[in-house]
Amino acid sequence: AQSVTQLGSHVSVSEGALVLLRCNYSSSVPPYLFWYVQYPNQGLQLLLKYTSAATLVKGINGFEAEFKKSETSFHLTKPSAHMSDAAEYFCAVSPNTGGFKTIFGAGTRLFVKA
């Protein structure tokens, strides 16, 4: 069975500081991994995805994530936070062989202080 754990329901950083949002997954088959962002009262927007190509994945808005199989992690980072990055971030996993179910983590709310 697949599962996703996001460490920290809330993360607060200062503008210009490093953003690090943590995600660990479990999957019995090679997974696809995703990070989505959700702004208030909106749907989800894909930030980036890992589909078994390069382990370091670059996404939109300066975000990137690194797939580490040995640590079953897919942490999201951004070198310098901007006020507009304040939102809810979701890590998700889906199998790349068989099954059609995407499992989302509980989310991490990112606060950016001026």
Partner 1 sequence: DAGVTQSPTHLIKTRGQQVTLRCSPISGHKSVSWYQQVLGQGPQFIFQYYEKEERGRGNFPDRFSARQFPNYSSELNVNALLLGDSALYLCASSPGARQETQYFGPGTRLLVL
> Binding residues for partner 1, per CB under 8 A?
4, 32, 36, 42-46, 49, 51, 90, 92, 94, 96, 99-107
Nearer to partner 1, 70 or 97 (CB): 97
Side chain identity at residue 6, one-letter code: Q
Measured over the CA atoms of residue 93, residue 76, residue 90 and residue 8, the dihedral's sign is positive
Strand 108-113, strand 10-14: pairing: parallel
Say how far apart CA 43 and CA 37 lie, in whole Å. Answer: 9
- Closer residue to partner 1 in complex, CB, 8/99: 99
Q: Least Å distance between CB 16 and partner 1? A: 28
The number of helices, as runs of H, and strands, as runs of E, in the chain is: 0, 11
**Please, what is the minimum distance in Å from the beta carbon of residue 96 to partner 1?**
7
Instruction: Provide, rounded to whole angstroms, the least separation between the CB of residue 56 and partner 1.
Output: 19
Q: Indicate the residue among 13 and 23 with the shorter CB distance to partner 1.
A: 23
**Nearest to partner 1 of 66, 104 (CB atom):** 104
Closest listed residue to residue 21, CA positions, set 69, 96, 81, 93: 81
